[in-house]
């Protein structure tokens, strides 16, 4: 992998950043076949898709549940496949290779977003700042300054970590708005003393997004983070505002379909967007008027396409992570499938266009999702953990002796279930799902279902995540790369990084 930008951004990046930062400071299926990719290294457009919390098992299990063992998700048909390491660093740490470098092996979404957006390792909760709290430019800022059209789509609040990582600079990801709070925005462990409230690093993220113009198209959730002043600021910059932050009227799918401005701001829920299952089962509910991540992706591409230079679009399928934190296997799989439909939209456009790079990856794995043997159970279900064969060895990694079924904890082993949340001890029992390979009559939740899934925890893990890519400049993503390398790949494709 290139090393020219791994230890810091280039002079060209910093020159572009001076202008960009001046702005912020003021304020799938089995029938899909693999595709070949263009051979040149520069792209007119880049579409970067993030399955939040999407580990390797999320991809494998989604494929098996919906398409069977021999099927493929759309992302799996892309010609370049690799994996991404995701570790963060501790506060006030140096970068890799520096004497004061101290890793943090499990990342959150904020430090991960900062890694690919700005090319530096940072601490958990940091957005657009390095581990010592210094502002670093983001790819979306650099792309905007270089003349690209820009877009940011998410099924989370648009002020949440992954989308905010491209459009803001914050010491703490919780500084979302609508109002400033010292408790949410300051971090004395990094800065030593409180920063003045006009410093961008403690400015609520919603205020930054509404005023810095980093993204031409902003689609997602989080309307409650914005207010009337934000709406006025957006309109002053020429945004077509769908719905209304001023009176908290959410936008709808119909509003999005009618949008035709060069700048569009549309938020479809006061909080995170709604899971696909609820919308499907409640067609008359107000939430059913929310667009899917695929619909938002298609609309964003349509709105951004046709510019003189090209566009850079980031898309997040955030609810994979939200449902994994809740140990909700069924909806984690359905949201992964919905995200893959957004990949289909992006890849179809790229193949038609002929000069578009598409990258699909994740920020981290969530909850230690695993496929286990049919009819088996997890160690967490036992009254006491099974003893190791070599239990006297403190470094032991040998296979444990399995406890008998009579040693199961009744509160954590209730048979095949799909639990409702990480606080439910029963969620450690397997969730089971029928697949296309099962005989007729086999149902989800039954012992006969062939796909058995379980969770390790309700939190993130440090596992590497998959990356799939198509288009100019993506061959360096084959094999194992770090999340900061994604900054290099996208930056080179867009010509904003040397």
Alpha helices in 201-275 (DSSP H): 205-212, 228-236, 253-258
- Give bridge partners of residue 241 from the DSSP assignment: 265
Q: Which of 4, 27, 93, 109 is catalytic?
A: 109
CB count within 10 Å of CB 414 equals 17
Distance, in Å, from the CA atom of 137 to the CA atom of 356, rounded to the nearest integer, reads 23
Distance, in Å, from the CA atom of 91 to the CA atom of 103, rounded to the nearest integer, reads 10
Distance, in Å, from the CA atom of 19 to the CA atom of 145, rounded to the nearest integer, reads 7
- DSSP letter (8 states) at residue 498: -
Q: Annotate 164-187 with b (16+ C-beta within 10 A) or e (fewer).
A: bbbbbbbbbbebbbbeeeeebbbb
Distance, in Å, from the CA atom of 204 to the CA atom of 219, rounded to the nearest integer, reads 18
> C-alpha angle 23/49/241, rounded to 5°?
50
What phi, psi does 224 have (nearest 5°)? -65, -15
Inter-CA distances, 413 with 337, 422, 446, 496, Å = 28, 14, 14, 54
C-alpha dihedral sign at 381, 386, 366, 349: negative
Distance, in Å, from the CA atom of 116 to the CA atom of 245, rounded to the nearest integer, reads 30
Distance, in Å, from the CA atom of 130 to the CA atom of 186, rounded to the nearest integer, reads 15
Give the closest residue to 263 by CA, choosing from 312, 303, 305: 303
Give the closest residue to 81 by CA, choosing from 476, 464, 351: 476
Instruction: Work out the burial of residue 3: count CB atoms within 10 Å of its CB; fewer than 13 is exposed, 13-18 middle, 19 or more buried.
Output: exposed
Farthest-apart Cα atoms in the chain, separation:
70
Tokens of 416: 């095949």
Distance, in Å, from the CA atom of 349 to the CA atom of 35, rounded to the nearest integer, reads 13
Whether residue 451 contacts residue 324, with contact meaning beta carbons closer than 8 Å, is answered with: no
Q: Annotate 470-493 with b (16+ C-beta within 10 A) or e (fewer).
A: bbbbbbbbeeebbbbbbbbbbbbb
Distance, in Å, from the CA atom of 470 to the CA atom of 473, rounded to the nearest integer, reads 9
Tokens of 255: 């509003």
The DSSP element (H or E) to which 135 belongs, if any, is none
Per the annotation, the verdict on 117 as an active-site residue is no
Q: Which residues are catalytic?
A: 109
């Amino acid at each position: 992998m290139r090393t020219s930008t791994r230890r810091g951004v280039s002079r060209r990046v910093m020159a572009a950043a001076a202008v960009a930062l001046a702005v912020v400071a003021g304020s799938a299926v089995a029938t899909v076949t693999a595709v070949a990719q263009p051979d040149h290294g520069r792209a007119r457009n880049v579409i970067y898709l993030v399955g939040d919390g999407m580990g390797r098992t999320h991809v494998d299990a989604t494929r098996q549940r919906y398409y069977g063992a021999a099927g493929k998700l759309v992302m799996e048909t892309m010609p370049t496949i690799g994996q991404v390491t995701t570790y963060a660093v501790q506060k006030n740490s140096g970068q890799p290779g520096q004497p004061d470098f101290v890793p943090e092996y499990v990342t959150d979404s904020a430090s991960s977003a900062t890694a690919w957006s700005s090319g530096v390792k940072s601490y958990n909760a940091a957005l657009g700042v390095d581990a010592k709290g210094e502002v670093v430019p983001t790819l979306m800022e650099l792309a905007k300054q270089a003349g690209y059209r820009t877009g940011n789509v998410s099924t989370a609040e648009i002020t949440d970590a992954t989308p905010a990582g491209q459009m803001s600079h914050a010491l703490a990801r919780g500084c979302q708005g609508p109002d400033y709070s010292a408790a949410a925005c300051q971090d004395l462990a990094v800065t030593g003393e409180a920063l003045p409230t006009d410093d961008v690093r403690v400015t609520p993220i919603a205020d930054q997004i509404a005023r810095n113009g980093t993204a031409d198209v902003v689609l997602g959730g989080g309307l409650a983070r914005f207010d009337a002043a934000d709406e006025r600021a957006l309109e002053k910059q020429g945004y077509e505002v769908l719905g209304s932050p001023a009176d908290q009227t959410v936008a709808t799918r119909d509003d999005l379909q009618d949008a035709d401005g060069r700048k569009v701001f549309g938020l479809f829920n006061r909080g995170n967007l709604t899971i696909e299952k609820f919308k499907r089962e409640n067609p008359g509910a107000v939430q059913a008027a929310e667009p899917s991540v695929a619909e938002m992706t298609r609309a964003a591409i349509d709105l951004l396409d046709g510019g003189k230079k090209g566009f850079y679009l980031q898309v997040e399928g955030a609810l994979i992570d939200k449902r994994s934190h809740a140990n909700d296997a069924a909806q984690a799989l359905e949201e992964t499938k919905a995200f893959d439909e957004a990949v289909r939209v992006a890849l179809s456009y790229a193949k038609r266009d002929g000069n578009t790079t598409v990258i699909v990856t994740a920020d981290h794995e969530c909850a230690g999702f695993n496929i286990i043997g049919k009819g088996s159970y997890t160690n967490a279900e036992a009254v006491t953990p099974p003893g190791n064969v070599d239990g006297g060895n403190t470094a032991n990694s040998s296979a444990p002796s399995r406890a008998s079924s009579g040693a199961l904890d009744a509160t954590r082993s209730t048979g095949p279930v799909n639990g409702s949340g990480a606080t439910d001890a029963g969620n450690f029992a397997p969730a089971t799902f029928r697949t296309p390979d099962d005989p007729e009559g086999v149902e989800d939740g039954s012992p006969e279902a062939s796909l058995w899934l379980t969770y390790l925890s309700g939190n993130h893990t440090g596992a590497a995540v998959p990356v799939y890519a198509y288009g100019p400049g993506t061959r360096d993503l084959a094999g194992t790369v770090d999340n900061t390398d994604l900054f290099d790949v996208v930056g080179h494709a867009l010509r904003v990084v040397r």
